[in-house]
């Protein structure tokens, strides 16, 4: 495992790393979390491995990860997918409609 980039992002309270790994097969995200945790002496919960790239026929893989200062910092900076955002928006709309219905029922009663 060779670190090619290591950058401290104080705004998001994390360390951003890129590394090269020599392996015979594709590494899994949970395996990489474990290896990075051992190398940097951090807990696995504060590590977010978000990218593993390899080329066909090559045994080198480029891994990108974030190492947060705490679990709270990880949760605050957690990226949300478009589908997650849409689901949250629908849930909020449903809650608003229910609140309006309850308010109307209370007015008529």
Alpha helices, H only, the chain:
29-40, 71-77, 82-108
Overall pTM > 0.85: no
The bridge status of strand 60-68 relative to strand 14-22 is antiparallel
Domain positions in the chain are 2-78, 79-109
**35-81: per-residue pLDDT in tens?**
999 998 988 888 988 889 888 888 899 999 999 988 888 887 776 65
- Quickly tell me which residue has 């990880």 as its tokens: 74
Best CATH choice for the domain 2-78 from the list 3.50.50.60, 3.30.70.3370, 3.40.718.10, 3.40.50.300: 3.30.70.3370
The helix (H) or strand (E) run that includes residue 66 is strand 60-68
């Amino acid at each position: 495992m060779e670190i090619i980039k290591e950058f401290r992002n104080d705004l998001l309270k994390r360390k951003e790393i890129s590394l090269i790994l020599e392996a015979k097969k594709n590494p899994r995200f949970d395996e990489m979390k474990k290896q990075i945790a051992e190398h940097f002496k951090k807990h696995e919960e504060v590590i977010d491995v978000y990218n593993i790239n390899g080329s066909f026929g090559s045994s080198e893989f480029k891994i990108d990860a974030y190492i947060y200062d705490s679990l709270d910092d990880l949760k605050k900076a957690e990226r949300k997918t478009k589908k997650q955002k849409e689901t949250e928006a629908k849930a909020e709309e449903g809650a608003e409609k229910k609140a309006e219905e309850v308010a109307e029922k209370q007015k008529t009663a």
